[in-house]
């Protein structure tokens, strides 16, 4: 069965970059693209005797949405005539609409920031909702580098989230014919511990074992080489430092359920905020 990649379209340069990245990815995996645009409903007002319409007319807003999607579909045809795409124009807030569309998809691809206001920004003010509510891995694409060479870099820490992130990274690396760099980090040690060579060695060994366990659980494709990197320092910083030559960064969200997603995703959100290349966020599948 053909997979599906959902792409958020809002007319911004960032969503254009997301579209072009998604086209290249669909050519590798053979997925169909689903291009999604949302628009705000026009609301009739009666405010202390003032009667009017907020925003543009309904016809204008709907027509704009359809024109944006038509332009996006035309761009897909220009870049990759062999890639099929469908379009979806829906009223409402972009985050829940994209989340609904993402159910069962291979990935949801969005720009780092959108136009905002009536154009339904896809990132910025609604970025947390998109990444929290999506039902598949989310790939966030900015206007920076979109390299097609280099490894896929993924953060690992021995958790179930890291195992799923690494599996996603391995699958992406296999499509790209490249390797995976698995980065495991441990926090900066207290000076009193640094002087205890035996304790430091034991901590290093434990971190190494956790990383090895994650790799063993996730490595289904033996054609993909996984390089393990263990470093001291904050996890987000370690991932970014080791991703300077990466074509994609993958992180687990560490957030099963709404509260955990919002509160415990500090590493993934820091990487997402500071990375200069596409970032994929992978969560546990829905029960």
pTM as predicted: 0.83
152-282 adopts what CATH topology? Answer: Rossmann fold (3.40.50)
Q: For residue 9, with 0-12 CB atoms within 10 Å meaning exposed, 13-18 middle and 19 or more buried, which class applies?
A: buried
Q: 4-141: which CATH number, 3.40.50.620, 3.40.1260.10, 3.50.50.60, 3.20.20.10?
A: 3.40.50.620
* pLDDT tens string 151-194: 999 988 767 777 888 899 999 999 999 999 999 876 545 555 55
- Whole-number pLDDT of residue 256: 46
CA Rg value for the chain: 21
Query: Do 107 and 241 form a contact (C-beta atoms < 8 A)?
Result: no
Which parts of the chain register pLDDT below 50? 115-123, 188, 255-264, 287
| Sheet containing strand 248-252, strands side by side | 85-91, 32-39, 4-8, 107-111, 138-141, 279-282, 248-252, 152-155, 180-186, 226-232
Query: Do 159 and 150 form a contact (C-beta atoms < 8 A)?
Result: no
- Whole-number pLDDT of residue 220: 63
Domain boundaries, the chain: 4-141, 152-282
Do domains 4-141 and 152-282 share one topology? The answer is yes
């Amino acid at each position: 069965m053909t997979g599906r990649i959902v792409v958020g379209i809002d007319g911004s340069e960032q969503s254009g970059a997301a579209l072009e990245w998604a086209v290249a990815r669909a050519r590798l995996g053979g997925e169909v693209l689903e291009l999604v645009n949302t628009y705000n409903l026009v609301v009739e007002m009666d405010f202390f005797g003032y009667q009017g319409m907020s925003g543009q007319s309904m016809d204008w807003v709907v027509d704009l949405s359809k024109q944006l999607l038509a332009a996006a579909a035309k761009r897909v045809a220009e870049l990759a005539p062999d890639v099929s795409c469908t379009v979806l124009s829906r009223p409402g807030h972009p985050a829940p609409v994209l989340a609904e569309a993402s159910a069962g998809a291979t990935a949801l691809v969005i720009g780092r920031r959108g136009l905002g206001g009536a154009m339904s920004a896809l990132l910025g003010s609604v970025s947390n909702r998109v990444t929290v509510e999506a039902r598949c891995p989310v790939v966030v694409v900015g206007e920076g580098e979109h390299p097609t060479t280099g490894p896929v870099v993924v953060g690992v820490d021995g958790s179930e989230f890291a195992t799923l992130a690494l599996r996603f990274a391995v699958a992406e690396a296999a499509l790209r014919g490249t390797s995976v760099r698995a980065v495991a980090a441990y926090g900066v040690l207290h000076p009193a511990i640094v002087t205890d060579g035996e304790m430091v060695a034991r901590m290093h060994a434990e971190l190494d074992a956790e990383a090895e366990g994650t790799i063993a659980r996730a490595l289904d494709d033996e054609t993909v080489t996984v390089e393990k990197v263990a470093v001291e320092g904050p996890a987000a910083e370690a991932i970014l430092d080791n991703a300077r030559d990466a074509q994609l960064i993958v992180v687990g969200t560490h957030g099963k359920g709404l509260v955990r997603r919002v509160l415990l995703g500090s590493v993934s959100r820091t990487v997402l905020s500071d990375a200069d290349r596409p970032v994929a966020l992978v969560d546990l599948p829905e029960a």
